[in-house]
Amino acid sequence: MNRRTFLGAAAAVATAQAQRRYDLLIRNGEVRDPGRGVKRKADVAVQDGKIAAVEDSIAPDRAYDVIDAKGLFVTPGLIDLHTHCYWGPTGLGIQADPIAARSGTTTWVDAGTFGWDGTPGFRKHVVETSHTRIFGYVYMYTSNRNPADDPIRHARRGMKNTGEAVVNNKDILIGVKVQVGFNMSGKYSFDLFKVAREMCDQFQIPMMAHISFAPPETSEVMPLMRKGDVVTHCYNTHTLGIVEKEAAKLKPGVQEARDRGVWFDVGHGLGSFNFAAAKRALDAGFVADTISTDIYPLNVNGPVFDMPTTMSKLMHLGMSFDDVLLRVTANPAKIINAQQVRVEKLGSLEVGAPGDIALLAIEDGQFTLVDSQKNAVTANKRIVSRLSICRGRRMHAIG
């Protein structure tokens, strides 16, 4: 090979390498980015774990890995604001990655599976070892082995440690999770909630409040919720709910809380999502801000299963696909990034956003969906996930 031939071949290789610059390319899909109002057919390219281009057409030879998404929706990776994924120390947590791979849910928020003293383990054994992005709310009340100890005094003793755990781990911890309801804390429920309110105000951190059974009443709880707090289980059929039992009418204080900037989250769970209650709320014009699963071992095999199943239930009740999608992408991303930007452009497909992508389909047919009280409906559409991409890499389902 003479010098001219060699230089020509080297130039050709360099040109090919310069053009072949994307790690991953998704072609021919319907891009849906509800936080930015984007609905268009486009190709999406990923490089170095981030969205590198969204264009009408990108040549397939410009990427190492090419995915044909014809007939699929290309969306930001789904974000589940209420899960239990601190797997191992207790029976409450599940492993996120296997379910993420089959569901399109690339960001998970653990809602109170662990107390302040479990934070180092959460970071080391869950956050740092998962392909999925994982954040958390610390549970307000640590375990107490002394049955004679006053619960309120015990909670107050833990205020400093709990508050400091959140403040000192803000890269992964969003705030504090509290359970409000007689079935959870008995006669101490409201007083424990007020201790949590005091602590969150003192440390300037958000709260996620589980609501279930009165006492206390909804009208007592809502005034204590602040801007940036989250009320989860908002579509339950329990006595501590947001809608009246027999009418499409909000309970006192609910709309006022939303007007102050309180977020309302579905948090399906084993007992906290009811079709009739959700329908009454929707008929009253009250659409949840975020849709989450509250997934854990007792409901992962039903009735929850995963995020697409939960999304399908809300779509069956009349919400559009885009409205549902907004509440599992851009809206929960705002909560995660509210106090500090933990992941820039999370929940979008904007150039520079994380390479977290879900390929979703809407199937037609006859599908049985079940709520927490075992009420079944037959839906003629359901949302399913075809592929999960997190941090710019495919996730592989097991089994």
pLDDT at 13: 47
> Rounded to a whole number, what is the largest CA-CA distance in the chain?
91
pLDDT band per the 50, 70, 90 thresholds, residue 223? very high
pLDDT at 90: 82
The pLDDT of residue 152 is above 50 = yes
| Contact between 227 and 201 (Cβ < 8 Å) | no
| Contact between 385 and 102 (Cβ < 8 Å) | yes
From residue 119, alpha-carbon distances to 54, 81, 110, 124, 173 in Å are 38, 18, 11, 9, 9
pLDDT at 14: 46
pLDDT at 397: 76
pLDDT at 217: 96
**Per-residue pLDDT tens over the stretch 44-83:** 999 999 999 999 999 999 999 999 999 999 999 999 999 9
| Cross-strand partners of 67 | 26
Backbone dihedral angles phi then psi of residue 13, each to the nearest 5 degrees: -65, -45
CA pair distance 112, 137, nearest whole angstrom? 5
**Per-residue pLDDT tens over the stretch 249-290:** 999 999 999 999 999 999 999 999 999 999 999 999 999 999
Cβ neighbours, 10 Å, residue 7: 11
The pLDDT of residue 1 is above 80 = no
Three-state DSSP at 46 gives strand
CA pair distance 172, 339, nearest whole angstrom? 12
| Helix (H), strand (E) at residue 315 | helix 307-316
Antiparallel, parallel or unpaired: β 22-33 and 230-232: unpaired
Edge-to-edge strand list for the sheet holding 133-139: 78-83, 105-111, 133-139, 173-180, 207-211, 230-232, 263-265
- Residues of the chain with pLDDT > 90: what percent? 86
Cβ neighbours, 10 Å, residue 345: 19
pLDDT at 8: 58
**Per-residue pLDDT tens over the stretch 327-368:** 999 999 999 999 999 999 999 999 999 999 999 999 999 999
Q: What is the residue-averaged pLDDT of the chain? A: 94
| Contact between 45 and 74 (Cβ < 8 Å) | no
Q: CB under 8 Å to 66, separation ≥6 — which residues?
A: 24, 25, 27, 60
| Contact between 250 and 303 (Cβ < 8 Å) | no
pLDDT at 151: 85
How large is the average pLDDT for residues 229-233? 98
CA pair distance 168, 183, nearest whole angstrom? 32
Output the CA torsion 192→141→267→87 (10° steps). -170
pLDDT at 81: 98
Question: What are the boundaries of each domain within the chain?
Answer: 3-75+356-395, 78-336
For residue 339 the two structure tokens come to: 């106090």
Pick the CATH number of 78-336 from 3.20.20.140, 3.40.50.150, 1.10.260.40, 3.30.499.10: 3.20.20.140
The pLDDT of residue 195 is above 80 = yes
For residue 128 the two structure tokens come to: 């740092």
pLDDT at 274: 98
pLDDT at 9: 52
pLDDT at 264: 98
DSSP assignment, residue 167? H
pLDDT band per the 50, 70, 90 thresholds, residue 311? very high
Q: What superfamily in CATH does domain 3-75+356-395 come from? A: Urease, subunit C, domain 1 (2.30.40.10)
**Per-residue pLDDT tens over the stretch 134-150:** 999 999 876 766 777 78
pLDDT band per the 50, 70, 90 thresholds, residue 246? confident
pLDDT at 199: 96
pLDDT at 146: 73
**Per-residue pLDDT tens over the stretch 99-129:** 999 999 999 999 999 999 999 999 999 999 9
Global pTM value: 0.94
